[in-house]
A and B are shown apart, each in its own frame.
Chain A
């Protein structure tokens, strides 16, 4: 997700093209083209500009609604309701052909990944593996990160594994109810990454964007990516 205010302009975007199955947006104001996955202008007067990053998570509606009871939800446009996708769209799309492929790490082009681009590095995690493991403790570049599966067994969030005032990367484990416990303070942490008990109560882990993407797309735009659990 991206901010729309760039170079003193408020941009309005339309889907206007495709680059190896990652779409391009055109802004009405300048006619520049922007790559969806990177938020970078690849052509036009704003070429080279970067849209401001806005953090987002892919969650189940149940989990989100429990966290944000006052939140608002995009409603269907009645004109297009016939075209809306079934709820497992990303899984169904795994059958669609791809035009590029990267036969590395034993991965298939449409394997679903969680990609993190942060701390000067890129790292991809097989979505199914993260769901199975429920708590992944790893590094992106030199920074320790956590990937946490919510109580619903489907929502995933990623965090920088640093607690203010605690040296090094604390060792977390996940209780069956989804609550995390860190060995450094003994405190409990909820799925939003905030301490709900212990010395660190009130502190929150820094969220890290984990993009759900197909392997071919992630690898195409992150050629130096490494993959969790693969050499």
Chain B
């Protein structure tokens, strides 16, 4: 049970610790954190299942109620961590614009001096106002049948 708890805690806490804003990221620790993030959904799920199995065995072997309660809380926490491992804080914080909409230049009310990121593919021109894209940071788009991602 303790091993499950330790594994799940590492899976959830380590990437948050390494990849947090206003902290310098070293190359090795960042690579390790990204590997943890990649595999943590499966790892914490296995950990949750193992914790529940351990809890069943513990209930059979341990008659004292407070110890059983303690073990139950531990197993529940491991499973909560499994749920948290499926959440990427950045993806929550920086709201993606999943359905970007567009209008013609003449129908768009922007000051003339507002900055835009401009792209042209074939004969199709598109502009991404910086005041908008600096909030979403990532816009998945298709322009003239070419799939592009505008970033800022």
**Chain A residues within 8 Å of B, Cβ to Cβ:** 1-5, 10-21, 23-26, 31, 33, 36, 42-44, 51, 54-62, 64-65, 67-77, 79-80, 83-87, 89-90, 97, 99-100, 152, 154
Contacts and interface: CB of A to CB of B under 8 A. Distances in A.
B38 A31 contact: yes
B111 A97 contact: no
Interface of B: 15, 19-25, 30-31, 34-35, 37-38, 88, 90-91, 94-97, 99-106, 108, 110-121, 124-140, 146-151
The 6 closest A-B pairs by CB, nearest first: A62-B112, A71-B125, A68-B125, A43-B34, A4-B147, A72-B102
A73 B112 CA distance: 13
Contacts of A42: 30-31, 34
A164 to B, nearest CB: 21
A7 to B, nearest CB: 13
Given A61-B110, A64-B127, A84-B132, A69 B105 contact: yes
Given A17-B34, A18-B25, A85-B131, A70 B105 contact: yes
Nearest to B24: A99
Contacts of A56: 117-119, 150
Contacts of B91: 14-16, 26
A143 to B, nearest CB: 23
A33 B19 CA distance: 13
A2 B152 CA distance: 11
A17 B113 CA distance: 31
Nearest to A36: B151
Given A13-B149, A15-B90, A55-B119, A62 B132 contact: no
A178 B21 CA distance: 41
